[in-house]
A and B are shown apart, each in its own frame.
Chain A
């Protein structure tokens, strides 16, 4: 740990927000030519630290040394000029400009005072060639996939800054192949001597690419370790501050299979949306739904909840016909639905955590029977406690909460209605490890109380852990149902592959 190997070092960084200490004396150092993973649950202070380093926030205390010299960036632009570049999960480039324009925005090569497009395009092409990217630089950025846009953003950041590259959840929306491509580029940049800070939720990727790991928790530094010396279990323990319940013990077969069938869907479907299917769900049972993206997972959830009206088939509960013609009527039948896209379909961003939790219950009671304020307070406090929703108080707008806590609040919204049938669409996507484990525990708990659940997830281990049965979807149709000891990750993968083969034949 010589001083000369360190390109960026921050000592005793403090950041105080009204009512919360976001960073409390955090030390962090980045070496030349290393990939340094910055980990922690949501709300641990990762992004606050990054924002202090890039000048997006003013720190309230501490020093930042870049190449041994004190720096105090006042803005991201200044940080960029100093040599610190950042690439975010949502690419912050302009989709309606060309690739070349995006690369050279604000510093276009000029000729006689006019932008020299030809020179700009040539230089853009050369720049991207360093990243093995051979694309039409005169096309609009939006024409390319997120992965390509990500690479372009990296190319721009490195070209502008060139000392430190911060990657904030760059892989969240990429598939495995694209992640591999991105990592090839990261390794090459590392070899060129850049210091790279890598923020992610995916632990496999951390072990795949990083040299060292720094873990933050509740705004404090937990520790910095070499990746090779840190077993996964220990890492999780560092992040959660406790031993994780052995990756959610998978005790199989016992779950609800013996119970009587409570919900019975027959020939249920909607043309152009999801092919008609039969589905039985028992009391206290989790039925998993698996399939590739676009296979009809979300469509299945929407039709069960009435967000899209079924045009064929029947739905019954305990032999009684159900009206699922709209979410409103589904809720009246004691259905609940946590949608996949939390931000668009789930949270009411500007409203408080309290109001978000009370919303579905209030909507079911109708406008003329308001839940009194004290009742709402009690409801919110109960669920904030029961689900361990991290928020400074219940009146905080929900958009200010981290993803995992938003997800818990939406779960609370449905639990408050005391549902018999709960549909969860990707309940653990994009949330941190701790909340992840808690939600899985919660699913099993609800199931134990006799609730019937449908859970859609692309995390197969997770599905296997809590589902008694798994429905496999392909091309907007239910193609297989795995029961008992067929419910394994291999079994699901095989079922998806097999049905794919059938479809091809």
Chain B
């Protein structure tokens, strides 16, 4: 047990270290960064903002991790967010109960995932193309639902999901954290994780070993759709309205980035949901840090890109082996020094 715990720590170390360095950098630029206080019965502070604002990307990253582990990719999640936000707003404003609204919305997300999954698993279309279809069409569908306007709502229950709090934490944080734990347990406490990794590394060999590759593939995209639906509900509830044009715009790229920063290879196989979630927090820390630092907005994207490139370079296999080499050289130096004495 302690061995697996240690393996876990080794796996997550680069991400945790990167996150720590970025938080430290932000706190230098903005001294009050780590301050937390209770306000209206919930924690309040920049760290909480990072957890809260990072919710959509964190949720998307959960599904994206599993999809990427199957050697796939889901470009449609941003558009699915927009669709699901629109569906939620439309359902609640047309008088459905909160439970019914959530049911319809999550169902919509699952349906979108099913569509992607069937294109990929049954029709054997390349994932990047298959999900591009919904990425392009999805926002149009969302606009049809909202008729081009921001569909606002005042249902206290739905708003609570976006800006309420539970256990002193904002609801979105509670949701992504709980969902992340559930999915991580689901894949690691059952054999799903191993079967997905096998499928991602070598689909044909996995199929010949009796793995139900088709069902697993579809399930991965359905999970991604479900995550996008949750993210869509949160995004809409946050602003009390469904913004079909902007909800989830470009977030698919942030989600992919979170997975990559989390160290899961785009070539499929080994994956870690925890690492992807930390990756999502790294991205959000950069975003929040830029906002707090007070730089002119023209620099936002450049700073973000520079930091991400730095992280990816540090995580690259070559840099890693250089670190190992250096530390070993230092160790052997110490050793020879000791022997000389």
Contacts and interface: CB of A to CB of B under 8 A. Distances in A.
Q: Do chains A and B touch in the complex (CB under 8 A)?
A: yes
Interface of A: 305, 307, 327-328, 331, 337, 339, 344-351, 355, 358-360, 362-371, 373, 413
Given A344-B204, A367-B190, A350 B210 contact: no
B210 A307 contact: no
A462 B280 CA distance: 57
Contact of B192 (A345, A365, A367, A413): A367
B246 interface: no
B39 interface: no
A362 B205 contact: no
6 contacts: A307-B207, A328-B210, A328-B212, A344-B204, A355-B198, A370-B194
Given A327-B210, A331-B210, A363-B211, A368 B205 contact: no
A351 B271 CA distance: 11
B190 to A, nearest CB: 5
A347 B212 CA distance: 17
What are the 3 closest A-B residue pairs judged by CB atoms, nearest first? A363-B210, A331-B210, A370-B191
B269 interface: yes
A337 B208 contact: yes
Identify the interface centre among A327, A346, A367, A413: most chain B CB within 10 Å of its CB: A367
A196 B195 CA distance: 46
B122 to A, nearest CB: 14
Nearest to A398: B201
Contact of A362 (B194, B202, B270): B194
A9 to B, nearest CB: 30
B191 A364 contact: no
B195 A367 contact: yes
Given A347-B202, A351-B198, A368 B208 contact: no
Contacts, number: 79
A237 B207 CA distance: 40
Given A358-B194, A369-B191, 17 more contacts: A307-B207, A328-B211, A337-B208, A344-B202, A348-B205, A355-B194, A355-B198, A359-B209, A363-B210, A363-B211, A363-B212, A365-B191, A367-B191, A367-B192, A368-B190, A368-B191, A413-B209
A359 B201 contact: no
A375 B269 CA distance: 22
Contacts of B183: none
B111 interface: no
Nearest to A365: B191
Identify the interface centre among B4, B197, B205, B270: most chain A CB within 10 Å of its CB: B205
A359 B206 CA distance: 8
A355 B205 CA distance: 13
B189 interface: yes
Interface string B191-225: 11011011001101111111110000000000000
A345 B208 contact: yes
Contacts of B207: 307, 327
A346 B205 contact: yes
A360 B212 CA distance: 11
Nearest to A417: B210
A413 B202 CA distance: 15
Nearest to A358: B194
Contact of A345 (B190, B205, B270): B205
A351 to B, nearest CB: 6
Contacts of A365: 191
A273 B227 CA distance: 43
